[in-house]
Amino acid sequence: MIPIADRLRRLPPYLFAEIDRKKRDVRARGVDVIDLGIGGPDLPTPPHIVHALQAAAAKPEHHRYPSYEGMPAFRQAVARWYGRRFGVALDLETEVLTLIGSKEGTAHMPLAFVNPGDVVLVPDPGYPVYSAGAWFAGGECHFMPLRRQNGFLPDLGAIPADVARRAKLMYLNYPNNPTAAVASPAFFKGVVEFARRFNLLVCHDAMYSELHFDGYEPPSFLATDGAKDVGVEFHSLSKTYSMTGWRLGFCVGNRDAVAGLGKIKTNVDSGVFQAVQEAGIAALTGPQDMAEQYRRTYQERRDVAVAGLRKLGWEVDVPKGAFFVWAPVPHRKDSREFATRLLEEAGVVVTPGVGFGPSGEGFYRIALTVGAERIAEAMERLQKLRW
């Protein structure tokens, strides 16, 4: 057997593989499983975006290698969208970089700025790619606990000064996965001050910024005074336009950070298929009515889930963004045991919070990625369980 590299040994056991195995076992028993664990949109990509891809795919000029940084027309569409949505001005030549989905850019950023032994500040609970990217670059992770009493925002003042001085990069993500928490401009102002004080790069993952409810609109980190001096923002078309399989995203902000990530990408990939970028232009510049309709759909599902959980007498906060419900495990049970019981006794899949980091223990996540009627059915099944 060929031994794997030490960097892979640092990765924690992949809890979601265990969940997938349990789902297969339950389905094999003939159970109709309602999967509230999948964090990917079930709604279709809007037709005008599909048509743009179909037309562009037929053009021979798109059959060659694309540019590493992305088509100027796509980067211009990104810059104009940022200006309209957030009031943030971007230079398409130096402050916008096209990504093969935001995940790859998020994972690759530490390779450009983190040396072995440097510290990366990572939210806990959080998207596992943040810590994986840090470890692959030889960095050390300092996990920032996200506590409910603090609105699931990291307490920057609790980070030891010696750790902060060694830190080269900080990951943030609002609206948040998995907690669905949101951040205020005042919080982002504090982040900029912290980054300036300790000379570190802020990487804000904003891929859920367009999934918002009840009239709330999440701010951009880059709209904060001085943010472009210390950070970048990652975005994706995956959630806003239901384009997860298309693999199209972008990194914007600090030109040195964008250039550093761009240099990594020139050595590890060959850019995004230009026909997909043409579809991205159609998404960013075309009608936004489908995106608004999808927001209403997710809000309806959220309301069904929250009402169902409250009917059970279970504690739950109403999320303002993302398409998740993050709630305390009732009866103070272990999150793995709780999720296993829901699957085996009710055929309902939820994600145990500990799968997103140690501070996620005591919580579970529901993904609003099935229809409202299926969520309602899941809530009815849970009503029948005896605790």
The answer on pLDDT for 14 being more than 80 is no
| Pairing status of strand 167-173 against strand 119-124 | parallel
CA-wise closest residue to 308 among 374, 247, 252: 374
pLDDT for res 319: 97
What is the amino acid identity at position 231?
G
First and final C-alpha spacing in the chain? 47
* pLDDT tens readout for residues 29-42: 999 999 999 889 99
pLDDT for res 75: 98
The DSSP code sequence of 76-97 is: HHHHHHHHHHH-----TTTSEE
Cβ 350 vs Cβ 365: under 8 Å:
yes
CA-wise closest residue to 102 among 256, 265, 222: 265
What's the whole-number average pLDDT of the chain?
A: 96
The predicted model gives 360-368 an average pLDDT of 98
Residue 264 sits at the vertex; the CA angle it makes with 109 and 165, to the nearest 5 degrees, is 40
Quote the pTM value: 0.96
Please list, in sequence order, all residues whose beta carbon lies within 8 angstroms of the beta carbon of residue 295, skipping any fewer than 6 positions away. Answer: 210, 211, 212, 213
Write down how long the chain is: 387
What are the chain's domains?
6-44+289-383 (3.90.1150.10), 47-285 (3.40.640.10)
pLDDT for res 83: 98
Alpha-carbon gap, residue 16 to 19, rounded angstroms: 5
* pLDDT tens readout for residues 246-262: 999 999 999 999 999 99
* Collapsed DSSP state (helix, strand, coil) of residue 171: strand
Alpha-carbon gap, residue 342 to 381, rounded angstroms: 9
pLDDT for res 352: 96
Alpha-carbon gap, residue 209 to 86, rounded angstroms: 11
* pLDDT tens readout for residues 280-295: 999 999 999 999 999 9
The predicted model gives 186-215 an average pLDDT of 98
* pLDDT tens readout for residues 98-121: 999 999 999 999 999 999 999 999
The DSSP code sequence of 323-375 is: SEEEEEPGGG--HHHHHHHHHHHH-EE-EEGGGG-GGGTTEEEEE--S-HHHH
What is the amino acid identity at position 67?
S
Quick one: three-class SS letters along 114-135?
CCCCCEEEEEECCCCHHHHHHH
The predicted model gives 119-138 an average pLDDT of 97
Alpha-carbon gap, residue 170 to 136, rounded angstroms: 16
